[in-house]
């Protein structure tokens, strides 16, 4: 049974029944799923949730499916890790990492959104699915489409990391590289959807797809013992995730599952080479000036972020801020997280760590703040961004080992 | 100057279902003016009260976002292609 009331335009409030739709037909604003919250509150309690398996479907009453999910059944329920060693480095006593770099099936937070979108495509009985992607979404749509037995069309910019391309092709997906950046790819997808009867997860399945990101908010709150964090640092590309995590936390308050008085400050992180949302927040406006991306954080390289307006509105409203970091700082962030916590994240995660460091230095995140960093992707997908020295090569002889490492025995 | 305008599905209710239309114009603003006189109501659906482009609408001139050019004042050449495309979520 579904608790979805329908779709509602976030701009003009116009309501639509549940159907395949890219945006409001009047003002082009984004559509959001609306729910019968009172009915959910009556049916579901926090205690009842605790016995359900730890996946995104734990919160299925708050997701826009009409029937039982068929694929992506293991998605979500990723660890929330207390990060004491990184916390000491950053100067935060209460630091946690939401580790979506081990999400299922394709090691990024995108598994949450595609699990919802591809199940929705099955409900709509669509012939094929697709997406425009900077990489992680491509991997995830391709994998979930394969599991659903649906053909998929994945359009990517022509400069993506080879590992992200391979990890899409392997699923039998039709991968199409488009000359140009993500914004050009996106424009083409919009025109494809206009002509073909397919479900593109970030275009005409977007109102359903985007809801998947709310589960990060639900999980973090539940894993903190039904508390909202004081601060959360979230990487931003199109800007949708940050406002959906906020929506998730608000819904938990509405259901009475976390206290009304708890407030989370939202902190958005971007690469300096693609920072249109950070730039808007700094200028004190919500109007996004599009940019031409130039950064190693390719998964965040969206120069014309469709949800940037909402991100730039919510961030200051929540008492938070947005900050950016250079490519060198991104690599240093990846390294710092790996060396302190044993988690290997991709460039977007490096952005999150590097920006968190700046926010502490600026005094925006304080030592006592219960802070969560959203680590949204896996480092094995962006090896190209790193420039590590080759390992030391020795003969298979003890003497050769000691020649190089003998003096290191007491170094600890 | 004659150019081709690509119309997205939600706006085809104005163009009797046509996917592309030909207009005569020297700037992007004139394109919209002319579309509006041909198809009354067209401009109001892509521009807000101040006359600027709506937040969730992008206009491309031969593939380039007009916000990287001169917005509505961008000059258009004979034979150019204008695409009106609603904004799309990230990935």
Residue with tokens 């925006």: A364
Among candidates A29, A184, A191 on the partner chain, residue whose Cβ is nearest the Cβ of B56: A29
SS3 sequence of A276-340: HHHHHHHHCCCCCCCCCCCCCCHHHCCCCCCCHHHHHHHHHHCCCEEEEECHHHHHHHHHHHHHH
Whether chain B has a CB inside 8 Å of the CB on A117: the answer is no
Residue-level pLDDT at A220? 98
Contact state of B10 with A25 under an 8 Å Cβ cutoff: yes
Q: Which residues are paired to A323 by β-bridges?
A: A269
A63 touches B82 (CB < 8 A):
no
d(CA A168, CA A150) in angstroms, rounded, equals 14
Burial class (CB in 10 A: 0-12, 13-18, 19+), A97: buried
Helix (H, G, I), strand (E, B) or coil at A132: strand
Quote the Cα angle for A262-A228-A47, to 5°: 105
Going by C-alpha positions, the residue among A73, A85, A77, A150 that lies closest to residue A109 is A77
Burial class (CB in 10 A: 0-12, 13-18, 19+), A366: middle
Counting other chains too, the contacts that B62-71 makes at CB distance below 8 Å and 24 or more residues apart are B63/A180, B63/A184, B63/A187, B65/A183, B65/A290, B65/A304, B66/B28, B67/A289, B67/A290, B68/A290, B68/A292, B71/B28
Q: Which residues are paired to A130 by β-bridges?
A: A153, A200
**pLDDT range class, residue A406, cuts 50, 70, 90:** confident
The first and second tokens of residue A336, run together, are 């710092």
Instruction: Check whether B91 has a pLDDT greater than 70.
Output: no
Instruction: Check whether A411 has a pLDDT greater than 70.
Output: no
Region B25-54 average pLDDT: 92
Contact state of B87 with A23 under an 8 Å Cβ cutoff: yes
d(CA A33, CA A38) in angstroms, rounded, equals 15
Region B1-15 average pLDDT: 91
Task: Find all residues with CB under 8 Å of A357, minimum gap 6, and list them.
Answer: A90, A333, A336
B62 to chain A: nearest residue by CA? A184
State the nearest Cα–Cα gap between A373 and chain B, in angstroms: 20
**pLDDT range class, residue A1, cuts 50, 70, 90:** low
Contact state of A306 with B60 under an 8 Å Cβ cutoff: no
Q: Which residues are paired to A61 by β-bridges?
A: none
pLDDT in tens, A263-301: 999 999 999 999 999 999 999 999 999 999 999 999 999
Region A188-208 average pLDDT: 92
Q: Phi and psi (nearest 5°) for A333?
A: -65, -40
Residue-level pLDDT at B88? 76
**pLDDT range class, residue B86, cuts 50, 70, 90:** confident
Q: Whole-structure pTM over 0.90, yes or no? A: yes
ipTM (interface pTM): 0.85
State the nearest Cα–Cα gap between B23 and chain A, in angstroms: 20
Sheet containing A265-271, strands listed edge to edge, beginning at the edge strand earlier in sequence: A80-82, A94-99, A370-375, A231-235, A265-271, A321-325
Residue-level pLDDT at B56? 87
pLDDT in tens, A8-31: 999 899 999 999 998 998 888 899
Percent over 70 (pLDDT), chain A: 99
The CATH T-level fold of domain B2-86 is: Ubiquitin-like (UB roll) (3.10.20)
Mutation for B interface: A16, A160, A187, most B CBs within 10 A? A187
Residue with tokens 């309501």: A15
Q: Which residues are paired to B24 by β-bridges?
A: B2
Residue-level pLDDT at A388? 92
A 289-308 residues with CB < 8 A to B: 289-290, 292, 302, 304-307
Region A41-58 average pLDDT: 95
**pLDDT range class, residue A305, cuts 50, 70, 90:** very high
Chain B neighbors of A23, CB-CB under 8 A:
10, 56, 86-87
Least reliable range by pLDDT among A56-60, A82-86, A295-299, B54-58: B54-58
Residue with tokens 């997860």: A201
Contact state of A202 with B67 under an 8 Å Cβ cutoff: no
pLDDT in tens, A206-260: 999 999 999 999 999 999 999 999 999 999 999 999 999 999 999 999 999 999 9
Instruction: Check whether A165 has a pLDDT greater than 70.
Output: yes
Whether chain B has a CB inside 8 Å of the CB on A181: the answer is no
Contact state of B89 with A202 under an 8 Å Cβ cutoff: yes
How long, in residues, is chain B? Answer: 91
A242 touches B90 (CB < 8 A):
no
Helix (H, G, I), strand (E, B) or coil at A409: coil
A80-106+213-385 has CATH 3.40.50.1100 classification: yes
Residue-level pLDDT at A77? 98
Residue-level pLDDT at A410? 64
Sheet containing B57-61, strands listed edge to edge, beginning at the edge strand earlier in sequence: B20-24, B2-6, B81-86, B57-61, B64-65
Residue-level pLDDT at A58? 97
């Amino acid at each position: 049974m579904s608790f979805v009331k329908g779709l509602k335009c976030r701009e003009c409030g116009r309501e639509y029944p549940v159907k395949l739709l890219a945006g409001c037909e009047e003002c082009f604003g984004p559509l959001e799923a609306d729910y019968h919250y009172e009915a959910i509150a009556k049916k579901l309690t926090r205690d009842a949730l605790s016995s359900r398996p730890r996946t995104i479907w734990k919160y299925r009453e708050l997701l826009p499916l009409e029937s039982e999910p068929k694929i992506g059944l293991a998605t979500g329920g990723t660890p929330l890790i207390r990060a004491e060693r990184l916390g000491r480095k950053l100067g935060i006593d209460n630091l946690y990492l939401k580790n979506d770099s081990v999400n299922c099936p394709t090691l990024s937070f995108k598994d949450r959104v595609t699990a919802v979108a591809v199940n929705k495509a099955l409900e709509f009985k669509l012939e094929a699915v697709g997406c425009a992607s900077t990489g992680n979404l491509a991997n995830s749509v391709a994998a979930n489409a394969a599991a659903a037995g649906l053909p998929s069309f994945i359009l990517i910019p022509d400069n993506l990391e080879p590992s992200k391309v391979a990890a899409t092709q392997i699923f039998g997906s039709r991968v199409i590289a488009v000359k140009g950046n993500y914004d050009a790819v996106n424009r083409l997808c919009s025109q494809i959807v206009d002509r073909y009867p397919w479900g593109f997860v970030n275009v005409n399945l977007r109102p359903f797809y985007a809801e998947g990101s709310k589960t990060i908010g639900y999980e973090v709150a539940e894993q903190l013992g039904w508390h909202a964090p004081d601060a959360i640092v979230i990487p931003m590309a199109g800007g949708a995730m940050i406002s959906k995590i906020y929506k998730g936390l608000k819904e938990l308050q509405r259901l009475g599952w976390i206290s009304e008085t708890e407030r989370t400050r939202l902190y958005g992180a971007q690469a300096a080479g693609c920072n249109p949302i950070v730039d808007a927040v700094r200028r004190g406006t919500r109007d996004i000036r599009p940019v031409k991306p130039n950064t190693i954080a390719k998964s965040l390289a969206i120069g014309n972020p469709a949800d940037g307006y909402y991100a730039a509105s919510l961030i200051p409203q929540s008492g938070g801020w947005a900050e950016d970091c250079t490519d060198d700082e991104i690599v240093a962030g990846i390294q710092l997280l790996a060396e302190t916590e044993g988690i290997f994240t991709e460039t977007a995660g490096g952005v999150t760590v590097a920006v968190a460091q700046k926010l502490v230095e600026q005094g925006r995140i304080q030592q006592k703040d219960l802070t969560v960093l959203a680590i949204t992707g896996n480092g094995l997908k962006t090896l190209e961004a790193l420039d590590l020295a080759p390992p030391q090569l020795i003969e298979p002889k003890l003497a050769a080992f000691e020649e190089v490492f003998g003096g290191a025995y007491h170094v600890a | 100057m004659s150019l081709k305008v690509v119309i997205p599905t939600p706006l085809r209710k104005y163009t009797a279902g046509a996917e592309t239309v030909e207009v005569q114009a020297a700037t992007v603003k004139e394109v919209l003016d002319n579309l509006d006189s041909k198809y009354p109501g067209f401009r109001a659906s892509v521009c807000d009260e101040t006359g600027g482009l709506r937040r969730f609408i992008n206009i491309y001139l031969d593939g380039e976002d007009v916000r990287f050019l001169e917005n509505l004042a961008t000059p258009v050449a004979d034979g150019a292609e204008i695409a009106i495309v609603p904004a799309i979520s990230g990935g």
